[in-house]
Amino acid sequence: MTREFFNEHAEHWDERVAEKDASKLEQMAGRLKIKHGDRILDVGTGTGVLLSYLLKKVGNGGGVIALDHADKMLSKAKAKDFKGQIDFLCADVMAIPFKNDVFDAVVCYSSLPHFPDKTAAILEIKRVLKKGGRFFVCHTVGREHINQIHRRISSVENDLLPDAIEMTTLLSKAVFTEIQVEDKADNYLASACKAG
Ligand SMILES: C[S@@+](CC[C@H](N)C(=O)[O-])C[C@H]1O[C@@H](n2cnc3c(N)ncnc32)[C@H](O)[C@@H]1O
């Protein structure tokens, strides 16, 4: 259902929906503890809105896997001329086709609300993270704003971004450490570490 929804909206996603404020995207990418040389998984990359910022952070020695289950969203991302080491992967977060312990960081930018089972998705993300690797859930608009928009669209009406207490609980249950959730009026950033 979610997959069809995003495929239907892929054509006009960048013009009508995606974040257009480059400074907000740059700022958010800057808050993620990503280092040069890191191997990153961007889950729900969509049309690749955050990709150039992630590629800049990982530099020449690093790389990004851009994963999405909606092939038409991914096609839009692929058509962009990204500079750097990037691979595109059409797959579901519920079954990430990678071995255990391979990524330095996993980023979910504007995608976590749509995961059908957040507990299982977070466990799957944790599986592919290296020990000491970091998980980021980020949005460049506020939680209330996102949730209000979703509640008005029947296909995604139940796809809500958890508040700080719920998110902390989800991450704690998955046995992440160093959990921090910043739920601000105009942005949201949850981060956590897979214990070493
Ligand atoms: C709101 S869009 C955000 C896309 C992009 N990150 C952006 O900010 O423009 C959410 C994306 O997550 C993807 N997505 C949702 N559920 C997913 C799942 N279970 N597995 C993989 N991707 C998923 C959707 O296909 C969609 O492209």
Tell me: the pLDDT tens digits for 112-124? Answer: 999 999 999 999 9
CATH number at residue 103: 3.40.50.150
pLDDT of residue 1: 77
Nearest residue (by CA) to ligand 1, atom 23, is 44
> Is residue 35 predicted with pLDDT exceeding 90?
yes
**pLDDT on residue 196:** 73
Compute the distance from residue 95 Cα to the ligand 1 centre, in Å: 15
User: Do 94 and 122 contact (CB within 8 A), yes or no?
Assistant: no
Question: Which residues, in sequence order, are CB contacts of 93 under 8 Å at separation 6+?
Answer: 43, 44, 67, 69, 111, 115, 121, 124, 125
User: In this structure, how many other beta carbons lie within 10 angstroms of the beta carbon of residue 99?
Assistant: 8
State what percent of residues in the chain have pLDDT above 90: 98
Cα-based torsion angle of the residue sequence 9, 14, 20, 25 in order, rounded to the nearest 10 degrees: 80
Total domains, the chain: 1
Cα-to-centroid distance, 169 and ligand 1 (Å) = 23
Nearest ligand 1 atom, CA 44:
12
Atom of ligand 1 nearest to the CA of 17: 9
Contact between 115 and 174 under an 8 Å Cβ cutoff? The reply is no
Query: Model pTM?
Result: 0.98
Over residues 38-66, the mean pLDDT reads 97
Average per-residue pLDDT in the chain?
Answer: 97
Model confidence over 125-180: pLDDT tens digits? 999 999 999 999 999 999 999 999 999 999 999 999 999 999 999 999 999 999 99
159 vs 146: CA distance, rounded Å: 9
Domain assignment of residue 58, given as a range: 2-194
